[in-house]
Amino acid sequence: MTGLPVTPVVLSTSSVYPERTTDAFEAAARLGYDGLEVMVYTDPVSQSADALAGLIDYHQVPVLAVHTPSLLLTQLVWGREPWAKLLRAKELAERVGAKVVVLHPPFRWQRDYVRGFEEGVAKMAEETDVTFAVENMFPLRAGTTEVSGYAPHWDPTILDLPNVTLDLSHTAASASDAIAMANELGPRLAHVHLADGTGVTNGPVPDEHLVPGRGRQPCAELLRGIAATGYRGMVVAEVKTTRAATRDDRLADLAETLAFARNHLAPVPAA
């Protein structure tokens, strides 16, 4: 990450959805983000190293992370076999110069993937300089009943994994203490998805990905904490802007997120 800040502030391409990967590059360049995290999904550009390399060169915005097609809606992207998907994500990251691949814990029904998940991720990490950072997810709740669609667990902090992505919208959805999770992870905290959430889990979409400061998560406290403790990963704006009435409104939300991150990552002057 030569020439980048100690903690780059990066835009996830998912933050411009329903616009496309090309629009995310344009937004990142216009607003001054330090780079992009590419969410691999049905957009062919998100899957193509050659197309991404062309956009990197044109906009002069690097791709610093790749997010595997881990969502339910992207289950058929790059086929059905999860290890093959992860291998392709690694190869894409290597070709575009990204240093991190973000992945989710396995779905519970992916039994073979579940059985060898922790060992398999560790083995793949030994074969590349790319960091595999497993993201915290959340269970679904109906009254007092909690159901998890993930195994071995939705919370990678309790698994034997060397690197973890901490997502602040997901901590809201799981009613987790984001600061406690970050402290428990220590040097295993390799990647941060910056967003906010209200923690209201009885609605249809508990995973809100709000602009930071619009929910109840300790976004500012977490950023100040990692800045003070020598965090050497990146902070990725992963917010939902689908409700933005216009493109200018979407850009305003992304600009607000960038300003929030840089403000709270800035060093605190000595007394």
- Give pLDDT, residue 72: 74
- Give pLDDT, residue 267: 75
Residue 103 to residue 55: CA distance in whole angstroms? 23
DSSP 43-112: SHHHH-HHHHHHHHHHHT--EEEEE-S-SGGGTTTT-S-HHHHHHHHHHHHHHHT--EEEEPPPBTT-HH
According to DSSP, residue 127 is labeled T
Residue 9 to residue 36: CA distance in whole angstroms? 9
Tokens 């889990």, located at residue: 201
- Give pLDDT, residue 158: 93
49-84 residue pLDDT tens: 999 999 999 999 999 999 999 887 787 899 989 999
Q: For each of the domains in the chain, give its residue range(s) and CATH number, in order of start.
A: 9-265 (3.20.20.150)
Residue 153 to residue 114: CA distance in whole angstroms? 9
Residue 188 to residue 186: CA distance in whole angstroms? 5
- Give pLDDT, residue 124: 94
- Give pLDDT, residue 270: 47
User: Mean pLDDT per segment of 10 residues, for the chain of length 271 residues?
Assistant: 84 97 98 98 96 98 96 84 96 98 94 94 95 94 71 94 97 96 97 93 73 97 95 97 95 98 81 44
- Look at residues 244, 264, 235, 249 and name the one whose alpha carbon lies nearest to residue 11: 235
